Amino acid sequence: MNRQPGWISIATLILAALFLLPAPKAAAAGTDETELEIEEIILEDTVDEDWLSALFSDEEDAAEPEAEPEAEPEAENPARTAFIDDIIARGKKEFEKTRGKLQRAQYKEDIYICKNFTVYLFRSTRDGYRMAEYPDVKLKIPDNLPSAQCRPYAYGYAWKEIPASEGNPFEIAAQFLYDTNLTKDENMEKALEFMRQVRRGDFFQMTAEYSHGSGAHSAIMIADYDPETDTVRWMDSNMVGGKINGERYGKVQFDESESIEWWADAFCKKKRGATIYRLRDDIIFAEK
């Protein structure tokens, strides 16, 4: 039997092996190799992971907090405002009547003594007003607290405590008493903050040592504390005065103005103090 040459057998094996190998897959129709290369370049670029997280996050964007509506100013009580207007108008009338001349302020019946003057202005205007809580009770202004009840402080920093049910339409809005446990500077800061509480119509009571003398004094504030000028405005009698033939005479003042430091320096001393008395909010017109 004739034998095939050896090279033919080798060739046959190679062909058989090639035939058995899997054929390469054809490229998808329409594929743009250039685009594939660009896509690969994009995928290899650095990506901002935080941006991606935010883009695909399930969390909703935090809502911006709503601005709180501005508080509306409290409506003024027309009866209370009218009462204060009447008191101030009466004080101005007395100022114009006296024309800057000194008035006797020696005896307990003299209306130009400081406390007597504020009481006179109050009593001259009170009949047209009442308190809503006690509409049948006539209004009254308390006397000063007696000396024995003021101790260890000096006389004149406060009034007697009379309940509203008996006609007292005032409430303590603020009070300062010198504290010996604090330094002078600390007391002064408290006194200044106390003076910043002044409002129009406040009755002011203090025991003081200042250029006009030493002792108790009463005044009525005719305007709110002014933070721009750091001042208060008031009316009073007998802060300024002197002796004539051995008797005390005082001057009626209206629309006076001084810094709160001036006032604080008067009562910010040991055993001294001051109180701000303010008309209640429930002032009403008296029934006729």
pLDDT digits (tens, 9 = 90+) for 34-68: 333 333 333 333 334 443 344 334 444 445 556 66
Indicate the DSSP class of residue 134: B
Whether the Cβ atoms of residue 267 and residue 195 lie closer than 8 Å to each other: no
| pLDDT for the residue 75 | 78
- How many structural domains is the chain composed of? 1
- Does 5 fall in a domain? no
- Does 64 fall in a domain? no
Rounded to the nearest 5°, which phi and psi values hold at 159?
A: -105, 170
- Does 177 fall in a domain? yes
Q: Which of these, 197, 219, 199, lies nearest to 207 by C-alpha position?
A: 219
Specify the pairing of strand 103-104 against strand 247-259.
antiparallel
Whether the Cβ atoms of residue 118 and residue 279 lie closer than 8 Å to each other: no
Rounded to 5°, the CA angle 169-94-131 comes to 15
User: What element of type H or E holds 20?
Assistant: helix 6-20
- Does 244 fall in a domain? yes
Question: CA torsion 122→123→129→131, rounded to 10°?
Answer: 80
Q: Which of these, 269, 203, 195, lies nearest to 232 by C-alpha position?
A: 195
Whether the Cβ atoms of residue 236 and residue 251 lie closer than 8 Å to each other: no
- Does 113 fall in a domain? yes
| pLDDT for the residue 64 | 56
Rounded to the nearest 5°, which phi and psi values hold at 110?
A: -75, 120
Token pair 């994009």 in the structure block, residue = 42
> Residue 159 is part of which domain span?
78-285
Whether the Cβ atoms of residue 100 and residue 251 lie closer than 8 Å to each other: yes
CA 276: distance to chain centroid? 17
What is the DSSP secondary-structure string of 169-229? -EEEEEEEE--TTS-HHHHHHHHHHHHTT--TT-EEEEEEEETTEEEEEEEEE-S--BTTT
| pLDDT for the residue 66 | 63
Crossing angle (nearest 10°) for helices 184-195 and 260-267: 130
- Does 96 fall in a domain? yes
- Does 249 fall in a domain? yes
Whether the Cβ atoms of residue 241 and residue 229 lie closer than 8 Å to each other: no
What is the DSSP secondary-structure string of 112-129? TSHHHHHHHHHHTTGGGE
- Does 48 fall in a domain? no
pLDDT digits (tens, 9 = 90+) for 104-152: 999 999 999 999 999 999 999 999 999 999 999 999 999 999 999 999 9
User: What element of type H or E holds 285?
Assistant: strand 283-285
pLDDT tens per residue, the chain (288 residues)? 444 445 445 555 455 555 455 544 444 444 443 333 333 333 333 334 443 344 334 444 445 556 666 655 567 899 999 999 999 999 999 999 999 999 999 999 999 999 999 999 999 999 999 999 999 999 999 999 999 999 999 999 999 999 999 999 999 999 999 999 999 999 999 999 999 999 999 999 999 999 898 999 999 999 999 999 999 999 999 999 999 999 999 999 999 999 999 999 999 999 999 999 999 999 999 998
- The pTM is what? 0.75
Tallying the residues shown for the chain, one arrives at: 288
Specify the pairing of strand 247-259 against strand 213-221.
unpaired
DSSP helix/strand/coil, 256: strand
